[in-house]
A = this chain, B = another copy of it.
Amino acid sequence: MEVLFTFVPKDHQQEMLEKEFPNVDFHFTKQDKSRLSHAEIVVTYGEDLTAEDIEKAANLKWIMVASAGVEKMPHKAILEKGITVSNVRGIHKIPMAESVLAHLLSIKRSLPTIYEKQTQREWHRKIRSSELSGSTALIIGPGAIGGEIGRLLQAFGVSTIGCNRSGKQADYMNEMVSFENILEVLPKADTVISVVPSTEETRGMLGSEHFKAMKSQAIFMNFGRGDLVPDDVLVKALNDGEIGYAVLDVFEQEPLPSDHPLWGMENVVVSPHVSSHSGRYVERALEIFAPNLKKWLENNSDLTNQVNMEKGY
């Protein structure tokens, strides 16, 4: 039985897999899809498979995506062939929550100013720092990642409002609201953080009326997907002073074109979709993959983190 990796784990990680599964024929490649027609399982970052690939992959039964988003996958072709898809949702929660807190605290505690004044060797103490403690945050998408963000925010004395489809209670949220009632809570939030995936419901979910409803000092953070809000709506909201700051890890178009206005705006941080980066990423992905592979070999179809390709998550 063949397993094709379209990325290359570290040597000791490859050896660990080969030792644990001596009867499995592993191919670790750098996006080399030449063995795709032989593989029963493909392990991929989810950005390198086309509908034609799926067509050719005669033996493919399971795609393990070592990423959380599956929107770049050929959904229709995968659904038609009844291929199982699983992902690594949850493994991003620690690095992403740390990134969100890093950016938020950095703004509150004036780090961009401190860094800039250091380059000028200027002992500049007229810094207007504020506190995260005592503020209110709205978390759009209080799932695994959003919940971890909520847990950390609460430790800092932040009141958390979760916003999901149903408005049903989620972990580490002091209060909940449904997607359709989001306008009611936006005026209360000092920080608005989105970590939702790209789905039919979230694409274009935020428009100018939402930014108008936010506090003029609000910090808007998009760490989910760039299609949540059109870039031009966001640029206008910032230019019109409807919000105070934006920290963006995702964009409508990635890479963000070098002539895009967001790059040069003073109250914007452009993070090049790196918030989930971690030196421990592949290690954690394999911790999810190995037990799933064991189940697969035992014909146990109850895989962890299976993705419903019709819903897209």
Task: Let me know if A30 is at the binding interface, CB within 8 A.
Answer: no
The answer to whether residues A274 and B125 also contact, given A114-B269, A130-B279, A131-B280 and a CB cut-off of 8 A, is yes
Seen from chain A, the residues whose Cβ lies within 8 Å of a Cβ on chain B are: 94-95, 98-99, 101-103, 105-106, 108-112, 114-115, 117-118, 121-125, 127-133, 151-152, 155-157, 254-256, 258-259, 263-264, 269-275, 277-280
Interchain CA distance A128-B273 in the complex, whole Å: 13
The answer to whether residues A109 and B98 also contact, given A155-B155, A273-B125 and a CB cut-off of 8 A, is yes
- Contact between chains at B98 and A105 (CB < 8 Å): yes
| Residues of B contacting A125 in the complex (Cβ-Cβ under 8 angstroms) | 272-274, 277
This protein's copies in its complex? 2
| Residues of B contacting A271 in the complex (Cβ-Cβ under 8 angstroms) | 114
Interchain CA distance A156-B116 in the complex, whole Å: 28
Interface of A is mostly: loop
Interchain CA distance A152-B98 in the complex, whole Å: 12
Partner of A152, one of B124, B131, B156: B156
Partner of A279, one of B101, B129, B132, B151: B129
Identify the closest chain B residue to A254 (Cβ). B123
Measured between C-beta atoms, what is the minimum distance from A57 to chain B in Å?
Answer: 28
- Contact between chains at B118 and A111 (CB < 8 Å): no
- Contact between chains at A106 and B102 (CB < 8 Å): yes
Measured between C-beta atoms, what is the minimum distance from A93 to chain B in Å?
Answer: 10
Identify the closest chain B residue to A249 (Cβ). B114
Measured between C-beta atoms, what is the minimum distance from A250 to chain B in Å?
Answer: 12
| Residues of B contacting A273 in the complex (Cβ-Cβ under 8 angstroms) | 125
- Contact between chains at B98 and A102 (CB < 8 Å): no
- Contact between chains at B269 and A95 (CB < 8 Å): no
Interchain CA distance A114-B123 in the complex, whole Å: 23
Identify the closest chain B residue to A152 (Cβ). B155
Interchain CA distance A96-B269 in the complex, whole Å: 24
- Contact between chains at B102 and A111 (CB < 8 Å): yes
Interchain CA distance A303-B33 in the complex, whole Å: 75
Interchain CA distance A271-B103 in the complex, whole Å: 17
- Contact between chains at A121 and B258 (CB < 8 Å): yes
Measured between C-beta atoms, what is the minimum distance from A41 to chain B in Å?
Answer: 27
| Residues of B contacting A269 in the complex (Cβ-Cβ under 8 angstroms) | 114-115, 118
